[in-house]
Structure formats: structure tokens, C-alpha cells
Chain A
Amino acid sequence: MLDTPVTTVEQSVSDAEVAAANAQPGTVPPKRFSFFFWCCLGWLGLLAIVTIFAGMLHLDPPNAPYYTPIATNAPPSFAHWLGTDDASRDVLSRLVYGARVSLVIGLFGTAIGIGIGGSLGMFSAYVRGKIDAGLSFVMYIFLAFPAIIAVLCLLEFWGHTESHIVVILGLFSVPFIYRVTRAATLACATKEYVTAARSQGATARRVLAKDIFPNVIPALIAYTVFTFGGIITTEGALGFLGQSVQIPISSWGNMIGEASGDLNATLVFILAPASALFLTLVALNYAGEQIRLRFDTSEQKL
């Protein structure tokens, strides 16, 4: 049994046959992403391109009133595809630059949340003991606090700039991500393969990085997307209340808020940012879920 296997032509042929036979019955054929998934990805890609290259799109300036000719609350036309708002600003332009605000806040806020919450959660679950108990206690206090009120207070205190909003929304997503990561890590750390890795002389850092982290990723991906959507929504809510970035800078939220004064005149001005927000959230959640399912190598699938 321990002899060197002899290399022969027959063997390599039979290897191929074995592989072919194995591929047939039990294994699931690689799943293909649905058309809808690609639509979602397309929308997100379009958003990304548009927000990154907004400056090159020859849009009218989003924040300066478009004066010649003066057109307040103008309906959509070839000059202004989505019309102009009550201060004669081009709505399409504001929508694009508003996407920039929403996406940047969502992206960096999520990065802060995942970075801090994820690493704290894994650390806490791996060391356990008093450190874990203390950290979890702090996180639960955070969770118990009505986040939107805290965010409103802090912004009032600090000023409504984009970077403050990013930091505050990011920090308030930490406890959720901490909780998910900690639970996933705990489930992982008690598995036999972690003990097996230790029994082969792996250090704690190695075990965390190579054995636990890859198993936490699926849960984290799903939650990343969820958090991203959550932060965009919260930013929208803040904008609607006029507490996000300040007018004349546009965000989807404050566009909806501004236009909500007179629905008869400005239905399209609400529909445009609202549907952008809606589509983005649907795309994020659907694509995130599909990606998570695709990379879910856990046993439960079979």
C-alpha cells in the first residue's frame, strides 16, 4: 500500500474514467447565475461607472441653478431628461451626484463596520473568557440604543458632513456585524478541524486566518451586502429629514425630502431618486444572496 504507485498509460486512462464517472451521478452541476442576477449586477455596475465618471458626463452642474432659460419645476425634456426642480437645477444631474453621496457613504460606512465589527467579533469569539464577555456587553448596549436618534444627535453636534456621516453610520453598524461574526466564529472554533489544525502545530493566528476566517466569509458576505443596503437606507432617511449632507449638495434622501412638498408638481422628482434607491437595494440584496449561496460549501447544502 505504501509502495510508489507505478506510472502507466493505463492508469492515466482509468483516472480520466474515474473522474468522468464521478462527475456524473452525485455531484451537482455548477450552478449558473440567473438572468436576474446579471441584471442586478448590471445595475450596480452602471451605478458605479456613472458615479465614478460623473464629471465626464457633460451634465449640468447639480448644485447651481440652471438659469437660461429659467425653468422651475420643468417637466422632463430633451434638455433636462428628468426636468428641473424648484430651484431650476437639473434633476438627472442631481440624481447622479446624489448616487455618489449615497454609494460613498454606504461603501465606506460598510468598510468601517466590517473592519471593526468583523475583527472584533472573530477575536472575541476565539479568545472567549472575560474579554469576550466585556466586548459583548458593550455591543449589546450599542444595540439597545435607538440608533437613528443617536445618529441625529451626533450629527447635530458634529456637523452634517459626508465624512462624519460615514464614520457614525459605520460605527453604528459595528454591533450587528460583531454579533454575526462572533456567532459564526464560535460555531467554527468548536469544530474538529480547528482542533485538527492545532494538533498539527498551527498558531492561533494561523488558525484564525486560514481555518476560521474562510468559514466565516459566507456569513460575512451576506451581511456586508445587507449592511451596505442598511446604511444607504439610513442615509436616505437622514436625507429625507434634512439631516444628511446639506442642500444644495444632493443625496437621494434629501431629493425625496425636498420634492415631497408638492406631489402634484413633482411626482417624477420623487419617483426618480426613490426608484434608484429601490433598485439599488433590490440589486444588492439579491446579488449578495446569490453570491453567498454560490460560495456556501457547508454540509447543509447536500
Chain B
Amino acid sequence: MSTSAPDTAVAPDTGTERPTTGELLEVTDLRTTIRTSRGPLVAVDGVSLRLNRGETLGIVGESGSGKTVLSRSIMGLLPGRGTMLSGSVRFDGQELVGAPESLLRSIWGPRIAMVFQDPMTSLNPVHRIGRQIAETLRLHLKLSKKVANQSAVTLLAQVGIPSPELRARNYPIELSGGMRQRVMIAIALACGPELLLADEPTTGLDVTIQAQILDLLAEAQRMRHMAMIFVTHDLGIVATRTDQIMVMYAGRAVEFAPTHQLFANVRMPYTEALLHSTPRMANPSHTRLAAIDGRPPDLVSRPLGCSFAARCPYAQDKCREESPTLVADAAEPDHFYACWYPRGSSTPVDPQGAPSVA
């Protein structure tokens, strides 16, 4: 164990001069178009959102709904070729869409950081983990090699890795998945970001480790007044850990509400279907898990009308002809949904316990 003072060595600007409240991120009509051999694919289609400092936004949707592309688009982290970004992302007053790569690079790491989905592939196999953490510190905070290495050990301790000095000398291959995800979080937290994008950070981990990693993220967020965007396909995970939830389907936001309002009053049938496809302890054994039939639409040739119409049990003719826009709920002005025939307030769903739907 080193006796280095961790709080001075790591993230020197955390919580000092930085404001801890106020708006941090404003995304307006963000659209990501990927050029494919079959034509342009609109992976994110006109998404708008706001996020205050210290708050957490959950983005939920099934595979291929555009959640990952959205989180990377917010950051501007896209493969340059064949991907077009339009709309606006204002981060702390600064426009990121169309910003030069050099500006983005100065923001990536110290101000916005990302935790990736698969800890098995997101660490470089040929470098020791201590070095991988130190690398970021040296790049942005211009720390000396020695100080950066000490800070890396401290960060490893902070993310709950036992005997961090020994582990810092390990290669990623020598660590378990949960440990690697802790290392990824340490790398993301290294420069004290104001916004953390967590892209399904627990999908590749088993359930007990999932809870540990989620607690770790929540703890880090609380200590650092960090805003977080949490991308997942699991509504159960976001239910207790977010302030707002955006449900995405086919690249669009279909329901967007403060977390308690969303679960108290589900309006969009897709959200309802997602909730019903979550396994529940209260169900008898061998209950067949409700799945959503069909697949998300082809985003190259999007069908007319509501994207979810083909899979929606409540779809009517209007749904197949006209595309619904995101509108505010009459009773709850913070609650937005895109549906012609929203579910009434008669179907509240408790995300944790048994469904109260008959």
C-alpha cells in the first residue's frame, strides 16, 4: 500500500471550482445517419433531452433501438467515415456537433467519459492495467509517470480492487470480468469527468457483480457530483437509480419522463411491453417470460406511421398511417410520450414487485 495522498493526486479539480447544480447537457433534435450499402440508415432520429449536473438519465430500449449510437453521438465519438451528425449537443454551453476533433479530444476524458459494455474487450490486452489508467492521467493532467502511476493505484483502490498495487501490475487477461469493469470505471473516472456515459456497463457481468458495479457507479457519482447517462436494456436496473428515463425505439424517443412518473403511469405500449418482459419473483416457477413478438423495423426503409405499430397489440389504422410525435401528458407536464392511443393511468406497473395489472 502506498502512503500517497489520494485526494490530491487524483482528479485535482473534482468539486472545487466546478458548479454542482445547473444544466449540463442539452441535446436538441440529434440525428445520426450512417451510410450503408443499402442507403442511409437513420440510427438516431431527432432525439432531444436535457440533463442537469449530478443527475442520472436512463436510456432504455431493446437491442438495435439506437441507445448506444445515441450515447456515442452525444459524445461525438463516431467512426468518421460514412456517419453524419446533425442537430445540436450543447455541453456546458459548448456546441459539440460539428466541433473540431481537437476540441472533442480535450473534452473526452477530463469532462465526458464513457464506460463500455464489454469489459473483456475494452481493455488493451498488451498493457498492464496500471499503465492504462496512468496513460489518461498523463495525457490530460500532464502528470509525471511516477505521480500518474501512484494515482492509478489510488483509483484502483477507490473502485474497490483489493491489493491495488499488485493488481496495477496485472494484465487485463489476469482479471475477472467484474474486476475489469472496475478498471474501466477507474479509467473513466481518472480525470474527474462531469458527465459519465455508461453504455450497458453491467450487461456482460453476472448478477451479483452487476449490483456491486451499479453501487460503485452511484457512489462515484454522488461523491463527484457527476451527471450520468445510463444506457441499458433492463428497466429493473434503471428503476431505482435514475432521475429520468428515456425509452427508445427504432432510433426515436418514445417515452420520456421522471423515473417515478414513468413507472406510476406508463403511457407508451412499448414501455409497457418492456416492463412485462422483465422476469418477476412473484411469478410461479416455469412461467413463460412474455416477449415482444417480432423485431424492430428496418431503419433504412422505415415503415409509414408509428415504428412500433407492427408489434403493438393496441395498434389501429391511424398508427400505421401517421407517425406520432412526442407530446406532453395532460396531467404531468414532464411526462412525454409518442403514441396515438396511450395506455391510460389505469395500468400502473410496479417495477420491483408483482405487476398490479390483472
The A-B contact count (CB < 8 A) is 107
Residues of A with C-beta under 8 A to B223: 2
Residue A69 lies at the interface, judged by CB distance under 8 Å to chain B? no
Residues of A with C-beta under 8 A to B164: 5
Q: How far is the CB of A255 from chain B (nearest CB, A)?
A: 43
Q: Are A201 and B106 in contact (CB-based, < 8 A)?
A: yes
Interface pick from A147-155, A190-198, A227-235: A190-198
Q: Are B77 and A195 in contact (CB-based, < 8 A)?
A: yes
Q: How far is the CB of B199 from chain A (nearest CB, A)?
A: 10
Q: Are A201 and B109 in contact (CB-based, < 8 A)?
A: yes
Residue B264 lies at the interface, judged by CB distance under 8 Å to chain A? no
Specify which of A2, A7, A15, A215 is in contact with B124 (CB 8 Å cutoff). A215
Interface of A is mostly: helix
Q: How far is the CB of B171 from chain A (nearest CB, A)?
A: 6
Residue B274 lies at the interface, judged by CB distance under 8 Å to chain A? no
Q: Are B124 and A201 in contact (CB-based, < 8 A)?
A: no
Residue B163 lies at the interface, judged by CB distance under 8 Å to chain A? yes
Q: Are B113 and A199 in contact (CB-based, < 8 A)?
A: yes
Residue B85 lies at the interface, judged by CB distance under 8 Å to chain A? no
- Residue interface bits A32-75, CB-to-B below 8 A is 1, else 0: 00000000000000000000000000000000000000000000
Residues of B with C-beta under 8 A to A298: 125
Q: How far is the CB of A299 from chain B (nearest CB, A)?
A: 7
Q: Are A1 and B77 in contact (CB-based, < 8 A)?
A: no
Task: Using CB atoms, name the residue of chain A closest to B170.
Answer: A22
- Cα(A206)–Cα(B124), bound, Å: 14
Q: Are B171 and A18 in contact (CB-based, < 8 A)?
A: no
Task: Using CB atoms, name the residue of chain A closest to B190.
Answer: A200
Residues of A with C-beta under 8 A to B3: 7
- Cα(A298)–Cα(B164), bound, Å: 23
Residues of B with C-beta under 8 A to A214: 124, 126-127
Residues of A with C-beta under 8 A to B162: 15, 18
Specify which of A11, A191, A198 is in contact with B77 (CB 8 Å cutoff). A198
Given A193-B122, A297-B171, A202 and B127 touching (CB < 8 A)?
A: no
- Cα(A22)–Cα(B220), bound, Å: 28
Specify which of A129, A193, A198, A200 is in contact with B121 (CB 8 Å cutoff). A193
B154-182 at interface with A (beta carbon < 8 Å): 154, 157-160, 162-166, 171, 173-174
Specify which of B106, B114, B125, B171 is in contact with A215 (CB 8 Å cutoff). B125
Q: How far is the CB of A132 from chain B (nearest CB, A)?
A: 10
Residue B136 lies at the interface, judged by CB distance under 8 Å to chain A? yes
Given A196-B116, A297-B125, A299-B173, A4 and B135 touching (CB < 8 A)?
A: no
Given A196-B116, A199-B113, A201-B140, A4 and B126 touching (CB < 8 A)?
A: no
Residue A128 lies at the interface, judged by CB distance under 8 Å to chain B? yes
Number of interface residues of A (CB under 8 A): 36
- Residue interface bits A122-159, CB-to-B below 8 A is 1, else 0: 00000011000000000000000000000000000000
Q: How far is the CB of B308 from chain A (nearest CB, A)?
A: 30
Residue A264 lies at the interface, judged by CB distance under 8 Å to chain B? no
Residues of A with C-beta under 8 A to B160: 1
Residue A77 lies at the interface, judged by CB distance under 8 Å to chain B? no
Q: Are B187 and A19 in contact (CB-based, < 8 A)?
A: no
Given A1-B216, A4-B7, A18-B163, A200 and B113 touching (CB < 8 A)?
A: yes
Q: Are B108 and A192 in contact (CB-based, < 8 A)?
A: no
Q: How far is the CB of B68 from chain A (nearest CB, A)?
A: 11
Given A1-B158, A4-B6, A196 and B184 touching (CB < 8 A)?
A: yes
Other than the given A14-B163, A193-B122, A195-B77, 11 more pairs (CB < 8 A) read A5-B157, A12-B1, A15-B165, A27-B174, A192-B116, A193-B125, A200-B139, A297-B125, A297-B126, A299-B120, A302-B173
On A, residues with C-beta under 8 Å from B are: 1-2, 4-5, 7, 11-12, 14-15, 18-19, 22, 27, 128-129, 191-193, 195-203, 206, 210-211, 214-215, 297-299, 302
19 sample A-B contacts, Cβ–Cβ < 8 Å, listed by A number: A1-B158, A7-B3, A12-B1, A15-B1, A15-B163, A18-B162, A192-B116, A192-B121, A192-B122, A193-B122, A196-B116, A198-B108, A200-B108, A200-B139, A201-B107, A201-B110, A201-B136, A206-B139, A211-B124
